[in-house]
Amino acid sequence: MAVIAIYSVKGGVGKTTTAANLAWCSATISCRKTLLWDLDVAGGAGFLFDVAPDHPRASLVLKRDVKATDAVIATAYDRLSLLPADDTLRELDTVLGRIGKRKRLARIAGKLGRTFERIILDCPPALGQISAQVMRAADVIIVPMPPSPLSARSFDLVVKEIKAHAKQHPPILPVLSMIDMRRNLHRQAREANPEWPVIPLSSVVEQCAVRREPVGVFAPGSPAARGYGQLWTAIERKLASL
């Protein structure tokens, strides 16, 4: 079992879209039993798969009042399940602070590991209890970043903030998340970080939120679908090297 966190201190950088598409790659391309765990109260991951919880109990799972496996719901895809977010996550940081168990998320993920081979965490754009718990639970952290000449600097800042909040942390992998090679500055960002995986800026990716399907389903030959597939392969390779 491996836990892959999609994380950034920033919002709107493509975390949820990346998490949803990677979860689909894991379940469909790698044929892994996969759980997408939505930790962001905004609930974007559930929206992208067009599934919603019957009962709001996301924070009850973390309080251990509800068994995590009981809160998991199926998606339209084989091997792919969702642990959805809901409004109860609004108080998540306070709840985790009050519980005082530093490895609560890691422990629950460990239990879920009896059922799932890959757990993908869609994280809220925040530093605090939740990010600290994510650092303790994850085997690898993916940081999506829109390309700019300052991408490397903004990646360093995210790493610095992670380090400030977590003494130990898993390997952190940057991804250029909305790259448009027609733009000069985007090309420069690509050239400055040639080894970073890229996801193209693409209307096909935007369509995910309209069709409520991952790109691999409705545009399998698109550069975006290839980008997510290659990123997933890079993650599996990283996990194998740990």
**Is 34 one of the binding residues for Mg ion (CB under 5 A)?**
no
SS3 at position 3: strand
Find the binding residues for ligand ADP in span 36-75 (CB under 6 A): 44
Minimum distance from residue 240 beta carbon to ligand ADP (Å): 26
x/- letters, 218..237, toward ligand ADP (CB under 6 A): --------------------
Q: Which is nearer to Mg ion, 15 or 136 (CB)?
A: 15
CB atoms within 10 A of CB 226: 15
Q: Is 9 in the site for ligand ADP (CB under 6 A)?
A: no
The residue of the chain with the least Cβ separation from Mg ion equals: 16
How many residues line the site for ligand ADP (CB under 6 A)?
16
Stretch near Mg ion under the rule CB under 5 A, chosen from 8-16, 47-55, 97-105, 153-161? 8-16
Residues 128 to 187 in contact with ligand ADP, rule: CB under 6 A: 177-178
Q: Is 147 in the site for Mg ion (CB under 5 A)?
A: no
Please say which residue, 117 or 161, places its beta carbon nearer to Mg ion.
161
Decide: is 16 part of the binding site for Mg ion (CB under 5 A): yes
Q: Which of 5, 9, 14, 59 binds ligand ADP (CB under 6 A)?
A: 14
* CB 9, CB 134: distance < 8 Å: no
Asked if 205 is part of the footprint of ligand ADP (rule: CB under 6 A), the reply reads yes
Tell me whether residue 10 or residue 187 sits nearer to Mg ion (CB atom).
Answer: 10
Q: Give whole-number Cα distances, 11 to 31, 60, 143, 145, 237, in Å.
A: 30, 25, 11, 10, 27
Choose one: 65-73, 85-93, 148-156, 205-213; the region binding ligand ADP (CB under 6 A).
205-213
Q: Render the chain in DSSP notation, one character per residue.
A: -EEEEE--SSSSSSHHHHHHHHHHHHHHTS---EEEEE--TT-HHHHHTT---SS--HHHHHHTSS-HHHH-EE-SSTTEEEE---GGGGGHHHHHHHH--TTHHHHHHHHHTTT-SEEEEE--S--SHHHHHHHHH-SEEEEEE---TTHHHHHHHHHHHHHHH-SS---EEEEEEEE-TTSHHHHHHHHHSTTS-EEE--HHHHHIIIIIS-HHHH-TTSHHHHHHHHHHHHHHHHHHH-
Among ligand ADP, Mg ion, none, residue 14 binds (CB under 5-8 Å by kind): ligand ADP
Q: Which is nearer to ligand ADP, 116 or 228 (CB)?
A: 228
Identity of the amino acid at 72: V
| Residues of the shown chain interacting with Mg ion in the complex, contacts defined by CB under 5 A | 15-16, 40, 44
Give residues in contact with ligand ADP (CB under 6 A).
11-17, 44, 177-178, 199, 201-202, 205-206, 209
